[in-house]
Amino acid sequence: MPKHSPSTLDPRSPLVLDTRDLPRRPGALREVQRVVPAPADLGVELIGVPEGADLDLDLRLQSVSEGVLVSGTITGPIRGECGRCLREINESMAVTIQELYAYENSTTDATTDEDEVGRMQGDLIDLEPALRDALVLTLPTNPLCREDCPGLCPECGVHWDDLPADHSHQQIDPRWAGLSQLTRTEE
Ligand SMILES: [Zn+2]
Ligand SMILES: [Zn+2]
């Protein structure tokens, strides 16, 4: 579990939202629409958002009594490898975010665990942990190029799509065929 990050947020960081122009009055709203570069290692082992790819933020920031509620969607490309045939997967993903970020020194800040409710640093909100959590839930643990991908022939490594229906490795190699002839004569 990620504990309190001691690092100070950088307002210029692509996934840090600055709420300076959002009045701290419950109900106040700001829309955030922007495209930012994806951070490194956004995803799971076999599939994820390539570093630097365009992440499309379409978010709504709403002041509530104890902090800021961030909701909306983040979309971007995902790239990976089919778990059965290793073909490249190029898709896009959309994750829905709905997170409350408590003001520093608010009651929520004092009475909740950081794993339950996000924290603001001054006027800044770090979206990255919420995005990572949401994305990991969205991504398939066993990505496939298509639902019914038949995978590769275990003998020759060719995709079953590219092989004739009767493809098999049952026939005996001519060299071994000769050898089996030999064995038979010895008997
Ligand atoms: Zn596949
Ligand atoms: Zn084969």
How far apart, in whole angstroms, are the C-alpha atoms of residue 83 and residue 90?
14
What's the 144 CA to ligand 2 centre distance in angstroms?
A: 20
Q: How far apart are CA 34 and CA 114, in angstroms?
A: 27
Distance of CA 58 from the midpoint of ligand 2 (Å): 47
**Cα(170) to centroid(ligand 2), Å:** 10
The pLDDT score that the predictor gives to residue 173 is: 63
In angstroms, how far is CA 30 from the centroid of its own chain? 26
Q: How far is the CA of 160 from the centre of ligand 2 (A)?
A: 8
Token digits of residue 162: 């590219």
Q: State the pLDDT at residue 180.
A: 54
For residues 148 and 86, give the distance between their C-alpha atoms in angstroms, rounded to a whole number: 14
CA distances from 181 to 82, 120, 171, 173 (A): 43, 80, 15, 12
Distance 47 CA to ligand 2 centre (A): 27
Whether the Cβ atoms of residue 22 and residue 51 lie closer than 8 Å to each other: no
Tokens 């109900």 correspond to 27
- Ligand nearest, relative to CA of residue 163: 2
- The alpha carbon of 88 and the centre of ligand 2 are apart by a number of angstroms equal to 21
Other CB atoms within a 10 A radius of the CB of residue 156 amount to 9
Residue count of the chain, please give it.
Answer: 187
Which bound ligand lies closest to the C-alpha atom of 153? Answer: 2
Indicate the DSSP class of residue 160: G
**Residue 182 confidence (pLDDT):** 53
Q: Which residue type, as a one-letter code, is found at position 113?
A: D
93: Cβ contacts below 8 Å, ≥ 6 apart: 49, 75, 76, 77, 78, 135, 138, 139
pTM of the model: 0.78
In the structure encoding, which two tokens stand for residue 171, read together?
Answer: 């026939």
54 and 92 in contact (C-beta within 8 Å)?
A: no
**Nearest 10 degrees: CA dihedral of 112, 18, 121, 119?**
10
Please tell me the distance from the alpha carbon of residue 151 to that of residue 55, in angstroms, as a whole number. Answer: 31
Block means of pLDDT (10 residues each) for the chain, length 187 residues? 64 93 95 96 92 97 96 97 94 94 89 85 94 92 92 95 91 61 49
Distance 167 CA to ligand 2 centre (A): 6
Per-residue confidence (pLDDT) for residue 181, from 0 to 100: 54
